[in-house]
Structures are given as structure tokens and as C-alpha cells.
Chain A
Amino acid sequence: MIEVTGRFYRAAETGGGSPGITASDAPKAADYKSARKPIWCPGCGDYGVLNSVFGSLAGRRIDPDRLVVVSGIGCSSRMPGFIKAYGFHSAHGRAVPVGIGVKVARPELDVLIVGGDGDGFSIGGGHLPHAARRNIDVTYVVMDNEIYGLTKGQVSPTSQPGSKAKSAPYGTVETPINMVLQMLAYGATYVGRAVASNPKQLGELIQGGMEHKGFSFVQVLSPCVTFNKTIGYEYFKEHTAPLPADHRSDDLVNAMKLATEEQMYLGLFYKGERLEYTEGLRLHGRTSLDSRINIEPLIRQYS
């Protein structure tokens, strides 16, 4: 069990990194590793994502007792079980509303939502515009392998046109979703993309998302080595490139333009400022938690 030693960042109390912590005291990735071993196939991109998550939690000095990792259903959605923190492995497609419920109730908690492309952009796709426009302070990491892995190989909403899978033996005729473009259009205030095989960039993006006050989205190109062999590490190496050096992350229009290009760019597409949801609730009159109901005004209102 985790001991609270004061080593962890307390958003509600300090509003910044805890002072007086020496480098040797700082949390390490191992502080967040649960006893459960991942169930993923050897070579799965999600191992790299998990390590990047550990790194960013340590880098951010997140208190595991005040962290909630929420997921839906799918291979990547098993991730909360491998993290030593509070977790909620919910239902297929519903990670985002569950995570919002946690954050809205208790804004002082850190909420990390994880899942796959089918979970997030197929069955759960209807929740994303609303999470983004609310600009609620959660970080959503989607591991995109362009396939349904847990159900053993059906096309997903991000499968390439013409790609063959068990549910599309003659090749899919559907156009894949462009996650980054969609999330930019939905109004997410932090949008990035990375590959699972670059833990440094991915870790920085996730940590940046957790630091960002608002809805943060990170797409991770995370290969499925079992059911989608054509879209592997090599494929991503060939088809990706760093964002152009002159791209400014506050330029939404340019971010959208870059997101539409053939080349899949990696990095922070966009970071903008907008009123965060729970902060907005506070500004619009939400008080602190109270047991007592002021009954006399209610009696007047209804009599």
C-alpha cells in the first residue's frame, strides 16, 4: 500500500510543485506500478504507453491516492488495473462520462482516462464533442491500433480504407476518423499525437495534458502486433514526422490544416485557454460541500 509522505503534488493545496522535495525524494515510475502484470500480447504498443504514463505521473508528482484512472472496454482499457491508484474499468464506450462524473464531483482529484480507438471513437464517439466543449479538466489518452483487438480482429473506426479484417474480408469501404482533426473541431483545448515507440515524447505530451487546465486529448499510435500486422512500428516510422518547427501550438487553424495532411505529424498540435468546467461551476455559484439545507427559502418558494 502507498504511504502518503508529502512527496506528491497536491493540486488543491499548493497550486504547484511541492516545495522542498529533493531529487532523491521525487516519485519514481515504480511508485505507480501495481502488482498486476499486463495481459497484453508481447510487442503490443500499450506496454510503451503504460511506461509513458508511469513516467508522466512521476514527473507530475501525482498522488496515487488522489488519482483516478478511468477506462472503457478493450485491450488498452485494461490499463487501470496495472496502475497503483484508484481506477474504474467501466463499460464499453463510457469511460469519458464516468471520468467526468468523478472530476465534477471532486475537482481536487486527478483524472486520467484511457482506452482504444473503438471504445472512444466508435461506441463512445458521441460523448467526445461534449467532453471537449465542456473543457473539463481530464486527460484522455487513446491508444489507436486501427483494429478491434480484444474481439480478435475486426475493422475499427480508424482502419485505413481498403484494409482487410475479419469483419471486412473484401476490404473496408469506410473513411477512417481523423482523431486529431475531430478533437480540434470539437473544441478540445489540448490536442497531441505521439507513437508508442517514442516514450519520451509521449510522456511529455501526457504530462503536459495533465498539467493543462482543461480537456486534454492525446492520440497514441500504438500497434497491434497480433491482429493488424500491416500497421506496425515500421509503418508508423515511415508515415509520421515531427510537427513543422514553425507551427505555434496556439494556432488552431494551422493545427487543423496540419491535421488534414497526408503525413501524420507528431507533437502538440494545439494548446488553448478557455474557462475550465469545474472552475466555471464555482464562478456560477457552486459553494463548498454542505450537509445543511437552508429550508426556510424552500418553504417560502413552495407555499
Chain B
Amino acid sequence: MVRIRVPMLPAPGELPWSASVNDTEVDIHVESNAILLDVLRDQVGTLGVKRGCDMGTCGCCSVLVDGEPRLSCLMLAHEAAGCALTTVEGLADGHHLHPIQETFTTHGGSQCGFCTPGFLVVISALLEENPEPNEAEIKAAIDGNLCRCTGYQQIVDSVRAASMIITSGKKTADATDPMPDPHPGMPTVEVESEELEVVPDE
């Protein structure tokens, strides 16, 4: 068998790269051949952008480039220079989650969560363009994202619920507020204080 290695030479020099990532100006130097996904994860530090297949199949690496969802694994970093980039970290408004982030938690839109950032980014762009998408439009929008856990129905449900929040004009709850009672309406049990065993501090 002939053994030949494809040469792995060091990349030609780094070039200045600047872009607005989640409304923060970033000025760094990146290699000429760098892929946007690598720059965002390794140099900018937005680890919400996931590397799934690295081939454009799964959509886990989706980011918004000037508001349009794009696959960061198939985009050269220098092509995105000067653009406004939004990753999943930039979707929330302060302490208020984006409606689709909130409804993903309430409707079981994510299980293992690996594909979730890609879905959230793509769906946020859909809702921005079309706040009341029908089922066919939702399915067409997430056609490029793969999820291996939930089976998509919960994701479609989450989009519908998020659409209702957006059209109602309400803001999502402050994520730092104490969680409400998870079982409202459950009868409280009266306990006599003598029945409680007090464990003394050691």
C-alpha cells in the first residue's frame, strides 16, 4: 500500500477580522482559511454555536449573519467580516428570554439540547420575518436542522406557542425571578410541630 500524507503546512499569515457578534464589536486576527464556526467557538468564545456534522447537514452551527440564518461551518470567516452576527447567546433580551427559548423549555422542544442552539437561531429568524407562521412554513424553515431526540412535534408546538407570545405583545418572564410553584393548587398538609424531628447541628 502506498502511504502518502496530504501536506499539512502552517496556514499563511493571519489577517485582521472585525465583526459585531451579539452587538459587541470584536477585533481579532484570524487565519486566511478560517471557517466562521471555528472563529466563533475558539476565538470569540461563543460556545453556543455547536459543531455537529461540520458538513452542512445538521444545522447545529446556524448563526444569523445580518439577520439571515446561515451555516457557520460552511462559511469562510473573512466572508462574514463586517457583518452583524447573532449566535444563540444574543437572542435573549437581558434577563428576558426570547419567546422561542422560553417555549422550548415549556413545550419540551429540547432533550439532549445539542441541536437546540441551531433551532433557536433559525426559528428566531423565522418569527422575525413571519410572526404567525403556519405549520407548513414552520416545517419548511426547520428543514435544514436535525434533531435526534424530540422528533420535531414538540419543536413545532414550541414555535406555535412562541408565535402566540409574540403576537400578544407580552414579554417573557424575567429569568432571574423565583420560579413559580410547579404544582399550584396542591393541598398543603398541616404538620404538628412535635412530629418534626429536629436534627441538632454538630
A binds B: no
Q: Which residues of B contact A (CB under 8 A)?
A: none
Q: Which residues of A contact B (CB under 8 A)?
A: none
